[in-house]
Amino acid sequence: MNSIAREHAESAPELDAASTEEPNMHTHTCTLPRSILSIVVGGFAASFVIVAAPTTFAQDAVVESIATPATAAVPAQIPTQIHVAIAAAEPLVQAFNEHLTILASPWMEGRLPGTRGMERAMAYMEDQFQIAGLEPAFQPSDGGAKSYRQPFSLGGKREVVEQSIVATCGENQTTLVADTDFMFTSLGKDGSAAGEIAFVGYGIEDGPDGYNSFATDHSLEGKIAMVLRFEPMDGAGNSLWSGGEGWSGRAGFAGKIAAVAKRKPAAILVVNTPGANDPRIDSLSAAGGRAMSDIPVFMVSTSAAERLVAACDGTRALMDLRKLADTPADGAPRSFDLSGSKVAVVGRSEEKPVRAENVVGVLPGRGALANEVIVIGGHLDHLGQGDFGSREAPGKLHPGADDNASGAAGVILLGDMLKKDYDALPPETPLRTVVFIGFSAEESGLNGSRYYVDHPIYPIKDTVLMMNFDMIGRIKDGRLSVTASTGAKGLKEWAEPIYAKSPLKVIQSAGRGGGSDHASFQAVGVPILFAIIADFHDDYHTSRDVVGLIDREASVQAVELWHDLALDMAKREQRFELDPNSGPMRAQPMKVRAGLRTRESEDGSGLEVVDVTKDGSADKAGILKGDKIIKWNKKDLANRAAFVEDLRTHEPGDKVQAVVLRDGEEKTVYVELQGAKDGL
């Protein structure tokens, strides 16, 4: 799922649309073979209980999967024969399990667009479309064989191709190891340089009480500036300026790099400050950093900087320099050269294009309805190694089993199910064309669905319904949240009787459904249905989103509901008439508050946060004064008008992903929007 679709999953109000059949929605009988599985996945033992022999039970009594630490004792009487339970499962459950397990396996590498793992995932989906008998959607311009792939550009990806730092101090030569001792960053530009090391403390020129890191008579021109990360701190490594809460705005990269760069050094070394009470001192990453100067900028580890100082200044250690920068004594130099030192640096990168591809299969319609289209989709991509959008640190495999291998597996199943339905129906039965899509690059901003909307196979005006799956793998207590377009006359009344026949309890959302791929269709006036788990879990966008936690049976019940809706819509004579007063461009009353004040940045790269309301939405999400919001609801923010317009689409309790730039690094936070009546 995209990071925002969760917004209504936790807070969607329950509507009583199918209240006349409420008992049907809450209880039903099932007969399943007894089997108990214990699967150790990703450090957890996940126990799956499939009820017995045959047993009749109420939906409310379904036993949920339980995650326990891998070290916990497993009762001796619990068998571990997974194959027995799989063999006893319904064929659709077996098929779903196979698709899910493959798509969320380590072999797929987290399905990040532009990687070999994503290529494998796309190849698997198109192979399944072909096996089902779906037609490839695209005719290449060279006249070759038709393809299931719809390629589009994701811009460029910066790759470092050369980086080195070599220091010579007297007879000592120190060569730093790339990616261990240092890293060339995107905070500056490519280049090479050589010069004396100039220590400039924290690189701050406008601190409290006249604090200034730069000595008046000290020139940096042509030298290699060494600047400490963060700002003056106490003996415990905490800021002296922030009142005991994190760092002040002066600790960020932008201000200090600008202050150093304007003094014309040849390159900048940003050093992880020894003793700082911040976990980032163990990381060389300046992830998401944007160029802030026209000279090379490197991140240097604490230990590497200690070696440089020890080799080039025999009288002081790096910690001594830090203490001098923390509380400079009267008359002591605030910046100075490490005499006799010479450092040569090289940093060179290349911008390599990143291409993503939607995977699209077509089930042709027939008769009078053949020219009208139903789109059934779900995003195939995820976060790779947590490269962005992760709620953990990068570097761990993010399998994305629920988000959204579950939805992608559902789309594959639906392609096979509906193709068999079409083949079984009388040839004279009028049927709409169905387009099945595994979207790419949803996590980075709905890029795949937006591209398809701009380059559809069939005219968008002929698309009568878009049905989107995003995170259907961990349905709790049978609760599935479904959002339907409120502006499509008759859609709600048509869907509710079908909801009522499902063993799932359908929680109807009154919002717009959040920022998943259906939003791209909704924005151009296509009616939508969007399904997602109604009760969110904390494993979202982490390495813990693994296959062992997926409820296969409930997921298949969601697929069967989508199947019944799609097949009925395929045969329905009328399309849904759109209410012209509910279009996506119509201004809506503001129901929520973000709890912050912003101003547009001069370069148009985002909104600068100038104030945060205490205990408001932004404050509780961890947004700080001085942050820059560069993405909101998976969209770039160039102006406040776009921000306000998006806020108009939300309900109190919605959760929205925001990407903020802080200290030169991008951080992903999740903002739970409070109601406007709260005055926040």
* E-only strand ranges, 392-541: 433-439, 463-469, 479-484, 488-489, 505-509, 528-533
Single-letter code of the amino acid located at 127: D
**Please, which pLDDT band fits residue 50 given cuts at 50, 70 and 90?**
very low
Res 599: pLDDT: 76
Instruction: For residue 635, count CB atoms less than 10 angstroms from its CB and return exposed for 0-12, middle for 13-18, buried for 19 or more.
Output: middle
Res 500: pLDDT: 97
**Please, which pLDDT band fits residue 44 given cuts at 50, 70 and 90?**
very low
One domain, residues 376 and 420: yes
Judge contact between 533 and 506, C-beta under 8 A.
Answer: no
Cβ within 8 Å of residue 75, ≥6 positions away: none
**Please, which pLDDT band fits residue 433 given cuts at 50, 70 and 90?**
very high
Looking at the chain, the whole-number percentage of residues with pLDDT higher than 90 is 56
Single-letter code of the amino acid located at 557: Q
What CA–CA distance (Å, rounded) separates 189 from 191?
Answer: 6
Query: Does pLDDT of 51 surpass 70?
Result: no
One domain, residues 457 and 368: yes
One domain, residues 182 and 39: no
Res 83: pLDDT: 87
Which of 534, 562, 582 is the last residue in one of the domains? 582
One domain, residues 432 and 477: yes
Where in the sequence is the domain holding 624, given as residue range(s)? 592-678
**Please, which pLDDT band fits residue 551 given cuts at 50, 70 and 90?**
very high
Q: Containing H/E element for 61? A: none
**Structure tokens that stand for 131 in this block:** 């096996």
User: Which of 21-30, 69-78, 451-460, 634-643 has the highest average model confidence (pLDDT)?
Assistant: 451-460
What CA–CA distance (Å, rounded) separates 513 from 206?
Answer: 46
Query: Does pLDDT of 368 surpass 60?
Result: yes
Judge contact between 229 and 276, C-beta under 8 A.
Answer: yes
**Please, which pLDDT band fits residue 679 given cuts at 50, 70 and 90?**
very low
**Structure tokens that stand for 385 in this block:** 């190694």
Of 101, 149, 110, 100, the residue nearest 129 (C-alpha): 149
What CATH number is associated with residue 424?
3.40.630.10
Cβ within 8 Å of residue 255, ≥6 positions away: 203, 204, 249
Averaged pLDDT, 473-479 = 97
One domain, residues 409 and 427: yes
Could you give the residue ranges of the DSSP H alpha helices within 296-404?
302-312, 318-326
- Total residue length of the chain: 680
Which of 561, 582, 603 is the last residue in one of the domains? 582
Residue 7 lies in a domain: no
Averaged pLDDT, 284-310 = 85
Which region among 174-178, 239-243, 282-286, 536-540 has the lowest average model confidence (pLDDT)?
282-286
Query: Does pLDDT of 611 surpass 70?
Result: yes
What CATH number is associated with residue 176?
3.50.30.30
Kindly report the number of other CB atoms within 10 A of residue 155's CB atom. 10
**Please, which pLDDT band fits residue 521 given cuts at 50, 70 and 90?**
very high
Res 492: pLDDT: 94
Residue 507 lies in a domain: yes
**Structure tokens that stand for 328 in this block:** 């400079």
Res 68: pLDDT: 39
Cβ within 8 Å of residue 592, ≥6 positions away: 617, 647, 650, 651, 652, 654, 673, 674, 675, 676
Tens digits of residue pLDDT in 508-520:
986 555 679 999 9
Query: Does pLDDT of 410 surpass 80?
Result: yes
Res 59: pLDDT: 34
Averaged pLDDT, 323-348 = 88
What CA–CA distance (Å, rounded) separates 224 from 335?
Answer: 13
Query: Does pLDDT of 35 surpass 60?
Result: no
Looking at the chain, the whole-number percentage of residues with pLDDT higher than 70 is 83
Which of 295, 313, 339 is the last residue in one of the domains? 339
Residue 344 lies in a domain: no
Using CA atoms, how far residue 427 sits from 433, 434, 567, in Å, is 14, 16, 15
* E-only strand ranges, 450-606: 463-469, 479-484, 488-489, 505-509, 528-533, 577-578, 592-593, 596-600
Res 91: pLDDT: 96
Residue 327 lies in a domain: yes
Instruction: For residue 564, count CB atoms less than 10 angstroms from its CB and return exposed for 0-12, middle for 13-18, buried for 19 or more.
Output: middle
Res 664: pLDDT: 67
Tens digits of residue pLDDT in 166-207:
999 888 899 999 999 999 998 999 999 999 999 999 999 989
The per-residue b/e assignment along 137-149, b for 16 or more CB within 10 angstroms, e otherwise, is bbeeeeeeeebbb
The shares of helix, strand and coil residues in the chain, as percent rounded to the nearest 5, are 30, 25, 45
Averaged pLDDT, 240-266 = 88
Number of domains in the chain: 4
DSSP 339-360: TTEEEEEEEEEEEEEEEEEEEE
Select the more confidently predicted residue: 531 or 579: 531
Query: Does pLDDT of 100 surpass 70?
Result: yes
Of 441, 404, 518, 432, the residue nearest 150 (C-alpha): 441
Select the more confidently predicted residue: 661 or 534: 534
One domain, residues 409 and 503: yes
Sign of the C-alpha dihedral, residues 219, 194, 265, 177?
A: negative
Query: Does pLDDT of 13 surpass 80?
Result: no
Tens digits of residue pLDDT in 380-396:
999 999 877 888 867 79
Mean pLDDT of the residues in the chain: 84
What CATH number is associated with residue 629?
2.30.42.10
Residue 95 lies in a domain: no
Provide the phi-psi class of 633: left if phi over 0, else alpha when psi is between -120 and 50, else beta: left
**Please, which pLDDT band fits residue 17 given cuts at 50, 70 and 90?**
very low
Residue 532 lies in a domain: yes
Averaged pLDDT, 45-63 = 34
One domain, residues 234 and 370: no
Judge contact between 616 and 674, C-beta under 8 A.
Answer: yes
Residue 622 lies in a domain: yes
One domain, residues 122 and 184: no
One domain, residues 278 and 308: yes
Residue 101 lies in a domain: no
One domain, residues 298 and 321: yes
One domain, residues 500 and 569: yes
Res 510: pLDDT: 62
Select the more confidently predicted residue: 591 or 278: 278
One domain, residues 190 and 310: yes
